[in-house]
């Protein structure tokens, strides 16, 4: 059998498999566009006909979904901006400043990579309960800023930046912070983009901590809200609405994925998905 023929066979198989892979999403998209009367009769078919946007209209008009969308945006933007700032500051210190105890502090911080979120879930809940800070944007964001992954990435990145670039600025007698801000940060656009997109994705899809800290429906993120709909909705009544919610919650991520695919794959591959 010659090579190109084998290649074609493999390709055909993978294309078929890819179609099966996409089926669940395509089907859910179809259901979200079908009118309720049609859904009662049948959930068959991939091309929706007749189609309607009524479920999406309901979603925006009568449900809490717009509020959840707002919460998700605030949490994701807040977490991303803060992570970028904290990680690049700390990464710069570890990579470029020779301060006493650096090695020990670095090891202490990296040890945090070994602590899974589940191990601190219960005590974190107790802390926020003591402070009476559950159901706030602060509680949704702050615990996620303690993860050392961003610091690790930025440290690695800053170490790879040639020293000459900084030394020129040092000769001008520029202060540490000025060098960091106006020389190093502009240089680290690619690293910051990868880390930023990855953090945004993580924040958007975060579930375990948000479901614990956000107990009032007004403070749900989209991810938690969707989970609560699954629990409360009888599968038959609001099927189109439920499917529209799933489509609505994943649409922003899909758009982000189409635009920034390279960075997302890179970020998830580097960090091992966490």
Partner 1 sequence: MSVQAPSVTPAPVPDASARSGGLARHRNAVAGYAFLAPFLLFYGVFLLYPFALGLWMSLHDWEIVGDFREYIGFMNYVELWDDPYFWEALKRTLQFAAMTAPAATLLGLVLALALQKPLRIYAALRAVFFASNIFSVTVVTLVWAMVLNPDRGLIANGLRAVGLQPIAFLADKDWAMPALMVTSLWWTAGLPMALFLAGLQQIPPEVYEAARLDKASRWAVLRHITLPALARTTLLVVVLQTVMHLQVFGQPLLMTRGGPANSTRPLVQLIYETSFRDWRSGYASAISTVLFVLMFGVALLQFRLSRQEGE
Q: Binding of partner 1 at residue 257 (CB under 8 A)?
A: yes
Measured from the CB of residue 145, what is the shortest distance to partner 1 in angstroms?
A: 4
Sole binder of partner 1 in the list 133, 168, 254, 259 (CB under 8 A): 254
Q: Binding of partner 1 at residue 170 (CB under 8 A)?
A: yes
Binding residue count for partner 1, defined by CB under 8 A: 110
Nearer to partner 1 (CB atom), residue 186 or residue 272: 272
Site for partner 1 in 199-228 (CB under 8 A): 201, 204-208, 212, 222-224, 226-227
Q: Nearest to residue 201, comparing CAs of 144, 246, 133?
A: 144
Sole binder of partner 1 in the list 55, 71, 80, 94 (CB under 8 A): 94
Can you read off the two tokens belonging to residue 71?
């919460």
DSSP annotation of 63 reads S
Sole binder of partner 1 in the list 33, 59, 195, 264 (CB under 8 A): 264
Measured from the CB of residue 165, what is the shortest distance to partner 1 in angstroms?
A: 14
Measured from the CB of residue 173, what is the shortest distance to partner 1 in angstroms?
A: 12
- Cα–Cα dist 183/15, whole Å: 47
- Cα–Cα dist 62/241, whole Å: 11
Site for partner 1 in 100-129 (CB under 8 A): 100, 102-103, 105-107, 109-127, 129
Burial of 108 (0-12, 13-18, 19+ CB in 10 A): exposed
Q: Binding of partner 1 at residue 11 (CB under 8 A)?
A: yes
3-state secondary structure 117-176: HHHHHHHHHHHHHHCCCCCCHHHHHHHHHCCCHHHHHHHHHHHCCCCHHHHHHHHCCCCH
Q: Binding of partner 1 at residue 84 (CB under 8 A)?
A: no
């Amino acid at each position: 059998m010659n090579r190109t023929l084998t290649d074609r066979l493999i390709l055909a198989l993978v294309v078929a498999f890819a179609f099966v892979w996409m089926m669940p999403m395509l089907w859910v998209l179809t259901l979200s566009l079908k009118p309720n009367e049609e859904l009662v009769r049948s959930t068959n078919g991939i091309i929706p006909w007749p189609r309607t946007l009524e479920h999406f209209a309901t979603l925006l008009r009568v449900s809490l979904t717009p509020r959840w969308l707002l919460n998700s945006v605030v949490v994701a933007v807040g977490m991303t901006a803060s992570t970028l700032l904290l990680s690049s500051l700390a990464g710069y210190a570890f990579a470029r400043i020779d301060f006493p105890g650096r090695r020990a502090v670095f090891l202490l911080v990296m040890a945090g990579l070994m602590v899974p979120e589940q191990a601190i879930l219960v005590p974190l809940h107790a802390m926020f309960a003591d402070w009476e800070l559950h159901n706030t944007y602060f509680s949704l964001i702050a615990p996620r800023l303690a993860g050392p992954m961003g610091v690790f990435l930025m440290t690695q990145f800053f170490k790879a930046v040639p020293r000459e670039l900084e030394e020129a600025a040092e000769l001008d007698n520029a202060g540490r912070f000025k060098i960091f801000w106006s020389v190093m940060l502009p240089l680290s656009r690619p690293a910051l983009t990868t880390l930023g997109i990855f953090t945004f994705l993580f924040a958007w899809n975060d579930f375990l901590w948000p479901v614990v800290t956000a107990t009032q429906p007004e403070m749900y993120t989209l991810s938690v809200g969707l989970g609560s709909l699954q629990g409360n909705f009888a599968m038959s009544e609001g099927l189109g609405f439920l499917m529209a919610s799933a489509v609505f919650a994943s649409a922003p991520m899909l758009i982000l994925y189409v635009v920034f695919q390279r960075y997302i794959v890179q970020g998830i591959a580097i960090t091992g998905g966490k």
